[in-house]
Structure 1
Amino acid sequence: MASAAFGVGAYTPSEAAKLLRMQPATLRRWLYGYDFDHGDGPREMPPLWEPQYGCDDDGPLLGFRDLVEARIVNGLRRSRIGLPTIRLCIDRAKEILGDHPFSTKAFKTDGRRIFLDITQGVEEPRLIDLKDRQHVFRAFVLPTLSGFEFGDAAVERWWLIPSRKTIVIDPERSFGQPIVADIGLLTSRVVQDVKAEGSVERVARLYETSGRAIRDALEFEAGELADAT
């Protein structure tokens, strides 16, 4: 990851997709566009938004704010909103909030009104009625903001277990890889250390942290945290 920048975070599509619980190929299509056959010839579908990193010799990388945007887009897709509608919503939101609009503090603080504004008049059947739009925001968009900690302008970190704040993704620490918050240890390293030491308790004593934090790291790496997304 020679292109990784401090404070931006750096994730391969596979790493980001694992965090978001989605397919890497889908994420690549959102971030880098794709070609398709429309019947009358090939067409090109542009990216949904401009990623924080370009695609260089090291391959494509996502930044932390790309991760946040993708999490919210994934929530909209789970609500069966079509990509053309999502693309329109992103473009409208960018006019109000700038690039990476869903990861701004303004979207967090005034998200409901902004969402209703950017979906007004769209042809998507689920979003034509005001009640349906309100339902989509409450049921699919609002939960995707859970765990995000905002600074003055934008999301600064993502607590993967908001109720305990043991595991965090922070672009200013370990290039945004998941870590045990109080000691900065990569959750992937926790798995190795527990195997080597033979128990959670021994690793907790070794790093002077709680057994709960070590167990949370193990559960996260195993994909067993229900509230990680």
Structure 2
Amino acid sequence: MYNGTGIYTLPEASRLIGVPAQKLNRWFFGYGYSKKYGDESVRAFSAPLWEPQLSSEEFSSPVIGFHDLLEARFVDAFVAHGIPLVVVRRCMEHARELYSLEFPFTSGRFKTDGKTIFAEEVERAIKEDALLDLKTKQFAFKAIINNSLYDGIEYAGDIASKWYPEGKRSPIVLNPSRQFGSPIVESTGTPTKILFDSYLAEGQSPAAIQQTARTYEVPIKAVESAVLFEENLKRTRH
């Protein structure tokens, strides 16, 4: 039913792209906040940046899809450089309309056209809100949208179809058509988490690598890559 979509809980997504689950929840499902009207404080709601691929009503906890996951990496790159979400939202809506694509940031076209879209939306935001000091931000586009965001993505036309989180030379891939998009060894389809758990159970040694490779019929180098990948997730990501 969900073949080709990918399924990630927010903690799983956080682990994979290094964005806190709470932040992802706000981006994908919106949030309430207090807003001042004169002397009164009223509750307001900030809508999601976009509608996630999957309906959380069908799952026991909030979930997102493969394209949601990749698009969130780009949103995080904007936010990390101090760009307000209102500008990120407008850039997304502008690009979505221009390209007729539901997930425009991950498109290779945004890499070339995004600077213009970005500058236009920054200019618009400054005109509408004098408190926004974004005049220098329009020159930061190359620092935000860099090759590292695109290098591991493989495309089918304009649409992202796979993501190699450690680069395309690595055997580790996220493919929404296989294992619901979880990280796997591409040649065998074996989830990296299973290989890592086996490695831990076998004693975390070179012998453990070899035993895991035999048990799951996976090349030794692929097991080594899976172990390193999982260790890196624990070490450097949320």
Shorter-normalised TM-score: what interval? 0.7 to 0.9
Question: CA separation in 1, counterparts of 2:44 and 2:221?
Answer: 51
Question: CA separation in 1, counterparts of 2:186 and 2:235?
Answer: 19
Aligned to 2:198: 193
Shift of 1:21: 0.7
Aligned to 1:125: 133
Which deviations, in whole Å up to 9, do the C-alpha atoms of 1:72-124 show, x marking residues without a partner?
A: 00011111111122122112122212322113343245444444455454325
CA RMSD in angstroms, aligned pairs only: 2.4
Whether the 8 Å CA contact 1:168–1:178 is kept in 2: the answer is yes
Structure 2 CA distance for partners of 1:134 and 1:166, relative to 1, 3 Å = farther
Describe the SS at the equivalent of 1:122: helix
Structure 2 CA distance for partners of 1:112 and 1:208, relative to 1, 3 Å = farther
Corresponding pairs, count:
221
Alignment of 1:149-164 (within 5 A): 149-162=154-167, 164=169
Aligned to 2:227: 218
Structure 2 CA distance for partners of 1:115 and 1:150, relative to 1, 3 Å = farther
Q: What percent identity do the matched residue pairs reach? A: 32
Which structure is higher in RCO with an 8 Å CA cutoff and minimum separation 6?
A: 2
Structure 2 CA distance for partners of 1:55 and 1:215, relative to 1, 3 Å = same
Alignment gaps of 5+ in structure 2: 127-131
Which deviations, in whole Å up to 9, do the C-alpha atoms of 1:141-191 show, x marking residues without a partner?
A: 223223111111211111011152211111011010011121111011011
Describe the SS at the equivalent of 1:37: strand
Aligned to 1:13: 10
Shift of 1:48: 0.6
Aligned to 2:104: 101
Q: Which has the larger radius of gyration?
A: 2
Question: CA separation in 1, counterparts of 2:76 and 2:113?
Answer: 20
Q: Which shifted more, 143-152 or 7-16?
A: 143-152
Whether the 8 Å CA contact 2:94–2:117 is kept in 1: the answer is no
Alignment of 1:8-157 (within 5 A): 8-39=5-36, 40-58=41-59, 59-97=61-99, 98-108=101-111, 110-123=113-126, 124-126=132-134, 128-129=135-136, 132-135=137-140, 137-142=141-146, 143-157=148-162
Q: Which shifted more, 92-101 or 169-178?
A: 92-101
Shift of 1:35: 0.7
Question: CA separation in 1, counterparts of 2:74 and 2:118?
Answer: 12
Question: CA separation in 1, counterparts of 2:117 and 2:185?
Answer: 34
Describe the SS at the equivalent of 2:109: helix
Question: CA separation in 2, counterparts of 1:67 and 1:138?
Answer: 22
The one-letter code matched in structure 2 to 1:222 is E
